[in-house]
Amino acid sequence: MSGAIDTLRLTAEAAMGLLERGEVSSAELHRAYLDAIAERDGELHAYLRVVEEPEPDAHGVPIALKDIIGTKGIETTAGSKILEGYLPVYDSTVAARCKAAGLPFLGKTNTDEFAMGSSTENSAFGPTHNPWDPTRVPGGSGGGSAAAVAGGLAPWALGSDTGGSIKQPASLCGIVGLRPTYGTVSRYGIVAFASSLDQVGPTTKTVRDCALLYRVIAGRDPCDSTTVDVPPVELPDAEDLRGTRIGVPRELNEAEGIEPGVSEAVKAAIDLAGGLGAEVEECSLPRSVEYGLPCYYLIAPAEASSNLARYDGVRYGYRAPATTRDELYERTRDEGFGDEPKRRIMLGTYALSAGYYEAFYGQAQKVRTIIAREHAELFERYDVLVSPTSPTVAFELGARTANPLAMYLSDLLTIPSCMAGLPGLSIPCGLSEGLPVGLQIVGPQLAENTLFRVGHALERALDFDFVPERLRPVAA
């Protein structure tokens, strides 16, 4: 049977059907994906390491995990040389939940170092390539998980999102990504970047797959006191959007730098939503977009500089040769961290240092309040807000690596809702220049079911083919 599995097209839901009907075993599915990895991952480099043998009691659909997610006994590097060889001695809660659901691990996927980046080019272990066009980036930081799912190397995968690291790669790779409401998915055992923003979420081929995987991972965890109770996850099946009020924030849809082809595809999807019965109206987020990015690039590096203080060469990870303790810390960190973590540690340390704290970090926290308020006001009138996920389609490898600020702009449209802890779903809504465009659907806190319902209805109507064009079988 496994020879007949089309890993490029098989959804997780369809794979569950095969398992339930006994047409294939979990081990056969696992093997089929390992075969696909052997065939195509040389080109894509979605995986940092592959798990050859599934857990003996696994009985579900295999899954890939971003290498930010701690897995007991399986090397977890966060894409950094400083964690090379690190073998967690316990499972993260999300990994444990996947195991409890019987999902065998396919492997750990590539990520920008410590999830800092928008292209996966900051990985210490080399970049991942976009399955639609290997000369282009898959987005980041979760480019490995997105490329694995889009390239048929995993039926579904988990990523983590701080300012767009699930949604933006999903957009650039033509698949579905959910950044859940802050606090719905445990961060226990996840390599920390910016703790008030980090959130784990699914990367999948369809919205229904996304809901199915979210159901596995969401819920309160005694090991993470920032988690909350989550409403039961509903599998979406409605085909229309009657009664749904959709807001189209001007600033998110007309921001400078949005490519015309992206705008066009998103507008067409919004028109389609109107055709499905939704009430669509333009609205405004006057300060959230303009000040969101600056706010994020103060708060996230500040929290990162604190979180990354733990990498000192003493208890785990890389250690540089040294004769004194100070030299041990300083050389370990200089040699172990790549350019982007160093940049953010320096920026964050500066923003938190005496004399600058109020002007930078304190002020950014107040901007965060403004962003949350602006969104809350809109959700009194709208069920969801829509916009492009990324201003551009996948860009060429190397195009933004020389200019950190240009790279940071990749997350212009995903960051505002992240700052307010809101859930956001990205679904593919068309092509521009032969590359996927993502539609971002943002809702109020804990409104994942609404996002799934809207996303599913639109996905059906859009009928986007998630198999990259160049990988589709040529018709005879």
Partner 1 sequence: MAIEREDVLHVARLARLALTDEEVERLGRELNAILEAVGKVSELDLDDVEPTSHPLALVNVWAEDEPRPCLPLEDALANAPERAGDFFRVPGS
Per CB under 8 A, the list member of 14, 27, 238, 370 interacting with partner 1 is: 370
Contacts of 146 (CB under 8 A, 6+ apart): 138, 139, 157, 159, 169, 170, 172, 173, 175, 177, 203
Residue 197 CB, nearest distance to partner 1 (Å)? 8
Q: Which stretch binds partner 1 (CB under 8 A): 204-212, 263-271, 338-346, 393-401?
A: 338-346
Return the structure tokens found at 162: 């701080």
Per CB under 8 A, the list member of 49, 59, 90, 460 interacting with partner 1 is: 90
Residue 25 or 284: the one with the smaller Cβ distance to partner 1 is: 284
CA proximity to 425, closest of 149, 158, 179, 235: 179
Question: Interface with partner 1 includes 367 (CB under 8 A)?
Answer: yes
Contacts of 152 (CB under 8 A, 6+ apart): 6, 7, 8, 9, 10, 36, 40, 131, 467, 471
* Cβ-contact 161, 199 below 8 angstroms: yes
Is 141 part of the annotated catalytic residue set? yes
Residue 133 DSSP one-character state: B
Using CA atoms, how far apart are residues 52 and 31, in angstroms rounded to an integer? 8
Residue 144's φ and ψ, nearest 5 degrees, are -65, -50
Per CB under 8 A, the list member of 81, 215, 287, 460 interacting with partner 1 is: 287
Burial class (CB in 10 A: 0-12, 13-18, 19+), 336: buried
Burial class (CB in 10 A: 0-12, 13-18, 19+), 358: exposed
Residue 240 or 330: the one with the smaller Cβ distance to partner 1 is: 330
Residue 134 or 416: the one with the smaller Cβ distance to partner 1 is: 416
Residue 53 CB, nearest distance to partner 1 (Å)? 21
Provide the terminal-to-terminal Cα distance of the chain, rounded to the nearest Å: 23
**Block residue for tokens 């500089």:** 305
Residue 287 neighbours by CB distance under 10 Å: 16
Per CB under 8 A, the list member of 23, 359, 376, 465 interacting with partner 1 is: 359
Going by their DSSP bridges, the two strands 424-432 and 47-50 should be labelled as unpaired
Per CB under 8 A, the list member of 389, 445, 449, 450 interacting with partner 1 is: 445
Residue 264 CB, nearest distance to partner 1 (Å)? 29
Per CB under 8 A, the list member of 322, 431, 461, 471 interacting with partner 1 is: 322
Residue 254 neighbours by CB distance under 10 Å: 13
Q: For residues 50-89, which are near partner 1 according to CB under 8 A?
A: 86-87, 89
Active-site residue (options: 80, 119, 160, 165)? 165
Per CB under 8 A, the list member of 243, 256, 323, 380 interacting with partner 1 is: 323
Question: Interface with partner 1 includes 124 (CB under 8 A)?
Answer: no
| Ordered DSSP codes for 34-103 | HHHHHHHHHHH--EEEE--S--TT--S--EEEETTB-BTTB---TT-GGGTT---SS--HHHHHHHHTT-
Residue 405 or 476: the one with the smaller Cβ distance to partner 1 is: 405
Binding mask 388-427 for partner 1 (x = CB under 8 A): ----------------xx-------------xxx------
Residue 388 CB, nearest distance to partner 1 (Å)? 21
Using CA atoms, how far apart are residues 439 and 456, in angstroms rounded to an integer? 12
Question: Interface with partner 1 includes 310 (CB under 8 A)?
Answer: no
Residue 364 CB, nearest distance to partner 1 (Å)? 5
Question: Interface with partner 1 includes 466 (CB under 8 A)?
Answer: no
Residue 23 CB, nearest distance to partner 1 (Å)? 41
* Cβ-contact 295, 364 below 8 angstroms: yes
* Cβ-contact 317, 83 below 8 angstroms: yes
Q: Which stretch binds partner 1 (CB under 8 A): 119-127, 131-139, 328-336, 431-439?
A: 328-336
Binding mask 197-226 for partner 1 (x = CB under 8 A): x------------------------x--xx
Is 165 part of the annotated catalytic residue set? yes
Helix segments in 337-388, DSSP class H: 339-352, 363-378
Residue 82's φ and ψ, nearest 5 degrees, are -70, -20
Question: Interface with partner 1 includes 360 (CB under 8 A)?
Answer: yes
Is 66 part of the annotated catalytic residue set? yes
Amino acid at residue number 280: V
Question: Interface with partner 1 includes 193 (CB under 8 A)?
Answer: no
Residue 97 or 368: the one with the smaller Cβ distance to partner 1 is: 368
Per CB under 8 A, the list member of 14, 50, 55, 196 interacting with partner 1 is: 196
Cis-peptide, bond into residue 141, ω within 30° of zero: yes
Active-site residue (options: 26, 118, 119, 141)? 141
Residue ranges that bind partner 1, judged by CB under 8 A: 86-87, 89-90, 182-183, 196-197, 222, 225-226, 228, 287, 290-291, 293-295, 297-298, 305, 309, 312-319, 322-331, 333-334, 337, 342-343, 345-347, 349-350, 353, 359-360, 362-370, 372, 404-405, 419-421, 445
The residues carrying an active-site annotation are 66, 141, 165
